[in-house]
Amino acid sequence: MSIFDEKKSYSRSRLRDSFRRYTKKPSGMRGRKFDQKERAGLVEGIFEKKYGGQISKSDYRDALKKLETQKREAKDRNERQELDRKIKFLRGAGEF
């Protein structure tokens, strides 16, 4: 079940709060989990101001595609791993 099954879009603060409360470790994610502050900070780091105050399902998918592109273009292994962690978290939290 996706978080967008209930509503078509979420405000930034509501999405930040839902990320903060999401404590499950997404499947396929290795290593350490994001702590509460990191999970809340993902909203500001990934969903830029161009998405506006409301984050829709299409905005969420666009942000995931952008992260996947950044991962492919990353030169450093550590940077790729960090981007992979973010992608897996977002997929798990959004259940895509």
Structure tokens belonging to residue 29: 């994610």
> What is the mean predicted confidence (pLDDT) over 77-94?
89
**pLDDT reported for residue 19:** 83
Domain count, the chain: 1
Q: Are 89 and 42 in contact (CB under 8 A)?
A: yes
Q: Can you give the pTM of this predicted structure?
A: 0.82
Q: Are 78 and 23 in contact (CB under 8 A)?
A: no
11 found inside a domain: yes
1 found inside a domain: no
2 found inside a domain: no
Determine what percent of the chain is predicted with pLDDT higher than 70: 89
Structural domain containing residue 35: 7-94
